[in-house]
Amino acid sequence: MPAQRPAPRVIEGSIIHLSSLADDDFPALFRAIGHPEVFQGGYGGGPASLPATEAEFIDFARNCYDRAANNVYGVWLNNGTMIGTSTLGDFDETRERAHIGWTAYSPSVWGTGVNPETKLLMLDEAFDAGFGRVKLQADALNSRSRAAIAKLGARFEGVVRRDQLRADGTWRDAAVYSVIVDEWPAVRAGLEARVAAFAG
């Protein structure tokens, strides 16, 4: 079937669920990710772009997340606590390409089953919608995010130099990874095993 942008919907997992990010979610998202250590790794343009107040974060969020073109999700623990955001976007239906990115979580859930299940649900959404390649990337200097992407089972493709302008005026290199549809069954099995270990 031809690739098609998935209709935004609530996606249920065993640890978390994803729902379309709404303006009303921005205060809770600020409480979750409005921390220096989140932006230190390059999120949102890097440390210089960290909003100091909730009001500043709301302005930042309205400009940062392109919800018209992309599926921007709030990530919620199943107890109702918002703990982050991630996006499935950059849809190229003709080439069957999509991109999972713009991901940030509360430091309180780093190293848990949250990221594996978020990516499991989003990759499943992309491949079910007919996409054949999903890109993931991180600031080349962000070793923590790069390790997390590699642990998902994504394959490292290389570094795109001088790829994005940071908020402080410097340029970042992007470390690019991908999962293609042929690899998805093995990657999915690995992610399901990791999630089950945390959920159990």
Condensed to tens digits (0 to 9), the pLDDT of residues 130-177 reads: 999 999 999 999 999 999 999 999 999 999 999 999 999 999 999 999
Q: Is the pLDDT of residue 15 over 70?
A: yes
Domains of the chain, residue spans: 11-199
Q: Cα(164)–Cα(45) distance, rounded to whole angstroms?
A: 8
Q: Tally Cβ neighbours within 10 Å of residue 55.
A: 12
CA angle, 17 then 63 then 161, to 5°: 90
Q: What is the model's pLDDT at position 1?
A: 66
Answer for the pair 90, 97: CB distance below 8 angstroms, yes or no: yes
Written as six digits, the tokens of 127 are 């491949």
Written as six digits, the tokens of 31 are 């409480």
Cα 46 from chain centroid?
16
Q: Cα(94)–Cα(36) distance, rounded to whole angstroms?
A: 39
C-alpha distance from residue 50 to each of 33, 36, 120, 141 (Å): 10, 7, 28, 18
Q: Cα(188)–Cα(138) distance, rounded to whole angstroms?
A: 21
Q: What is the model's pLDDT at position 119?
A: 98
The CATH class that applies to domain 11-199 reads alpha beta
